[in-house]
Chains A and B, each alone.
Chain A
Amino acid sequence: MLRVDVEKQLGEFSLQASFTGEGRVIGLFGASGAGKTSLVNMIAGLLRPDRGTIVLDGETVDDTAAGIHVPAWRRRIGYVFQDARLFPHLNVAQNLDYGRRMNRLAPDPAQHARVIDLLDIGTLLGRRPGKLSGGERQRVALGRALLAKPRLLLLDEPLGALDEGRKLEILPYLVRLRDEANVPMVYVSHDAAELRQLATQIVMLKQGRVTSLGGVKMLA
């Protein structure tokens, strides 16, 4: 369970968001500029709220009043960015293994094989990110985040940089991920159709404020 109650001033823009998320996929919906990315950056620990608390599964990762700010690298919250951000100096296999190495987790060949199979990236392992298509890059980024065994996975418009055809290529993987990977997700998008397919709960954000909370039906 994720409980967020934060305030952040970013220049002229003020973000004030409060919601409790339960269920497998929390869809964070809003137009561009609504503050979605800033909000997930705060959940990830990359951005510090001015005021407020963030609690994940009973662990307080941010509490400004108590002076608590768990740094991003200790949160075990995975993040898939819109622009993949694969490490250009590492090949796909090394990118996938990065999170496991950094967290000093024992090798888990079964999970490794499952994720590679789920995302269909077995043939890409020896390649450098520069030699991948946009869709392939995003699948590898998903695998890399999953293999670090996160408690929560943030996906910030993971299809945003892809054209229509590529989106349809990745969407089924995301559905499989939701149904099989067993990691709760926060899925950010400005595309209602995408969220209708994936989300189990919707948090609607408008100009830095949460305007409504509820089931996927509210996007209809």
Chain B
Amino acid sequence: MSDISPAEWTAILLSVRVAIIATLVATPFGIALAWLLARRDFWGKSMLDAIVHLPLVLPPVVTGYLLLLTFGRRGLVGGFLADHLGIVFSFRWTGAALACGVMSFPLLVRPMRLSIEAIDRRLEQAAETLGAAPWKVFLTVTLPLALPGVLAGMVLGFAKAIGEFGATITFVSNIPGETQTISSAIYSLIQTPDGDAAAGRLVIVSIVLALGALIAAEWFARRATQRLHGN
């Protein structure tokens, strides 16, 4: 592993940065959506649920292309953000983070939703009778009890984000140092003569990162069960 080249390191670090930013930004939205889906009944709920899961079943190229149409420099949202807030996504690492965030969102939301659904609502009622306003009930009872699930969702989302390829390369291309993540670096390397060894090293890095994330998610899930049983 010691002979990882600077270019490979660049791709690895970029992947990690993109995945961390994608996960951190997606988390508050994920928690809010998980709570909404777990606790509220409203018109269009199954539609919203389907939209959240769409990136899981759509071809990643399609998701990437839709992102390009929406968040590209000439896209409806992208144009507005670029002109008014100076935020540019297309062909930038920020765009890679956006693509990874969208692609990993279903995996991030799911454990959060399940852990909120598993919380005994009668505990929240007890908190109310003790004088806790609804937002305090959420912060002092719901969220702490759901925390292992929230962390598990973040870990899974991170693992998915770090391996994302199709939507990212479609949306922000494959620019070394800017948008070339581990996946797109491997893709370039296996198309290059003599690239096999470097590709192999990055493949090993991917496997290690993914396995680590899955083990971490499993550990958090176990903690969640313990927490709910009050030990």
Contact of B145 among A79, A89, A98, A129 (CB under 8 A): A89
Binds B, one of A19-27, A59-67, A80-88, A170-178: A80-88
Q: A81-B122, A83-B122, A102-B136 are known contacts. Are A148 and B130 too (CB-CB below 8 A)?
A: yes
In the assembled complex, how far is the CB of residue B186 from the closest CB belonging to chain A, in whole angstroms?
A: 42
Which residues of chain B come closer than 8 Å to A3, judged between CB atoms?
A: none
State whether B126 touches A131 (Cβ < 8 A).
no
Q: What band does the interface of chain B fall in when counting residues whose beta carbon is under 8 Å from A?
A: 20 to 34
User: Please, how many angstroms separate the alpha-carbon atoms of A208 and B126 in the complex?
Assistant: 24
State whether B129 touches A79 (Cβ < 8 A).
yes
State whether A89 touches B131 (Cβ < 8 A).
no
Q: A89-B145, A128-B230, A130-B229 are known contacts. Are A46 and B130 too (CB-CB below 8 A)?
A: no
Which residues of chain B come closer than 8 Å to A79, judged between CB atoms?
A: 126, 129
User: Please, how many angstroms separate the alpha-carbon atoms of A45 and B228 in the complex?
Assistant: 26
Which residues of chain B come closer than 8 Å to A73, judged between CB atoms?
A: 128-134, 136-137
Q: What band does the interface of chain A fall in when counting residues whose beta carbon is under 8 Å from B?
A: 20 to 34
Residue of A nearest to B141 (CB): A87
User: Please, how many angstroms separate the alpha-carbon atoms of A78 and B131 in the complex?
Assistant: 9
Q: Mark A158-190, 1 if CB is under 8 A from B, else 0.
A: 000000000000000000000000000000000
Q: A87-B141, A88-B230, A130-B230 are known contacts. Are A148 and B126 too (CB-CB below 8 A)?
A: no
Contact of A102 among B127, B227, B228 (CB under 8 A): B127
Within 8 A of A (CB), among B115-143: 120, 122-123, 125-134, 136-137, 140-141
State whether A102 touches B132 (Cβ < 8 A).
yes
In this assembly, does B191 line the interface, its C-beta being within 8 Å of a C-beta of chain A?
no
User: Please, how many angstroms separate the alpha-carbon atoms of A77 and B125 in the complex?
Assistant: 12
In this assembly, does A135 line the interface, its C-beta being within 8 Å of a C-beta of chain B?
no
Which residues of chain A come closer than 8 Å to B133, judged between CB atoms?
A: 73, 102
Residue of A nearest to B144 (CB): A89
Residue of A nearest to B119 (CB): A88
State whether A98 touches B130 (Cβ < 8 A).
yes
Q: Mark B174-187, 1 if CB is under 8 A from A, else 0.
A: 00000000000000
Q: Mark A84-99, 1 if CB is under 8 A from B, else 0.
A: 0111110000000011
Q: Mark B41-59, 1 if CB is under 8 A from A, else 0.
A: 0000000000000000000
In this assembly, does A39 line the interface, its C-beta being within 8 Å of a C-beta of chain B?
no
Q: Report A's interface with B, CB cutoff 8 A.
A: 44-46, 71-79, 81, 83, 85-89, 98-99, 102-103, 128-131, 144-145, 148
Nearest 3 Cβ contacts at the A-B interface: A130-B230, A88-B230, A99-B130
Between A and B, 25 residue pairs with Cβ closer than 8 Å are A45-B128, A72-B125, A73-B129, A73-B131, A73-B132, A73-B136, A74-B131, A77-B129, A83-B122, A85-B122, A85-B123, A87-B126, A87-B141, A88-B123, A88-B229, A89-B227, A89-B230, A99-B131, A102-B127, A102-B131, A102-B132, A102-B136, A103-B130, A130-B230, A131-B231
